[in-house]
Amino acid sequence: MSGTIWLITEDESDKVIVEALVRKKGFDIQVARLKLTGGSGGVDRLAHQLERLIRDAKDMKKPNDCIVVLHDADIHMQQSNRQTYEQIRRICKDNKVTLILARDEIEAWLLADSGICKWLGIRPRNHDEETKPKDKLNSLLDQKHNMKYRERNQEKILAHLNGDGDTHSPSMQEALQHLEDAPCTK
């Protein structure tokens, strides 16, 4: 019986990417997103609301479901702001919830995917350590396909996904390992 990933993210676009990736990887699971109040964005808001969202997810989850917190680690952010990330990590640990971190932004996983890269005319490689992979993706989309990286275009972009970005991206590899270990994918 397939389970559900209760995915807590900052942005709607993250859920769509995760959904596409788990499908490509052959996991028979649903993805339901718990959102922050007041729309997308804001790691501070995620940290502030995370415990409540986890409590809700725990209440709604069935035995073979799992809870996953996914957020961009924003590795290039100043050290002084790192305490928020540490807080999120601690909350996930205390609640025994899977935490998946994209090194800077989750779009780095798309730039490591052979299908997307072929469509964009570049070679797949690791973009985990780069700043703002979303901007790079946006620029490539604009050049090659006269397209912006917007939510409404995600379906068209993700149609080219092969789901093999983990061969180049260690952060995606780690994320998939977490998912493979989670009860909802068993």
Partner 1 sequence: MTDNLHNASETNGTEEVKPKPVLTRLRFKNWRSLRDVVIDDLQPINVFIGANSSGKTNIIDALRFYRDAQQKGLVSAVMELGYNKIQTDVLENDEDVELEFTYQLKKFSDLPITEITTLQFQKRDVPFKYGRALFEGDVLLRREVPRDLPIREGIETFSFTVTDRPPKHHHKAVAILNYLSTIAQKRWQILSENFMPPLRLSHQEGGDIYLMERDAQNTLVILNYMKQAYPELYTRLSEDLSWLLNHVVKFDVLQYHDYPRDIEAIIRENNSRIAPTISSGTARIVAMLTAIYALDMRQEINSSIDNLKLLTPEIPGLVIIEEPDTALNPGLLRKFVEQIRFYADGDNPRQFIFTTHNPLFLDYFKPEEVRVVSRDENGYTTVDRVPERVKENWLDEYGLGEVWTTNSFGGLAE
75 lies in the site for partner 1, by CB under 8 A: no
> Interface with partner 1 by CB under 8 A: which range of 55-63, 85-93, 126-134, 173-181?
55-63
59 lies in the site for partner 1, by CB under 8 A: yes
Q: Which residues pair with residue 98 across a beta bridge?
A: 68
38 lies in the site for partner 1, by CB under 8 A: yes
- Exposure on the CB side of residue 146, measured as CA atoms within 13 A: 0
As a whole number of angstroms, the distance between CA 20 and CA 129 comes to: 23
184 lies in the site for partner 1, by CB under 8 A: no
89 lies in the site for partner 1, by CB under 8 A: no
Sheet hosting strand 4-9, strand order edge to edge: 30-34, 4-9, 66-72, 98-102
> Interface with partner 1 by CB under 8 A: which range of 34-42, 77-85, 102-110, 173-181?
34-42
Tokens of 48: 């502030």
78 lies in the site for partner 1, by CB under 8 A: no
Q: Which of 5, 47, 53, 140 binds partner 1 (CB under 8 A)?
A: 53
Residue of 52, 68, 62 whose CA lies nearest to 6 = 68
As a whole number of angstroms, the distance between CA 129 and CA 126 comes to: 8
Q: How many chain residues bind partner 1 (CB under 8 A)? A: 15
55 lies in the site for partner 1, by CB under 8 A: yes
Residues binding partner 1 (CB under 8 A): 32-39, 49, 52-53, 55-56, 59-60
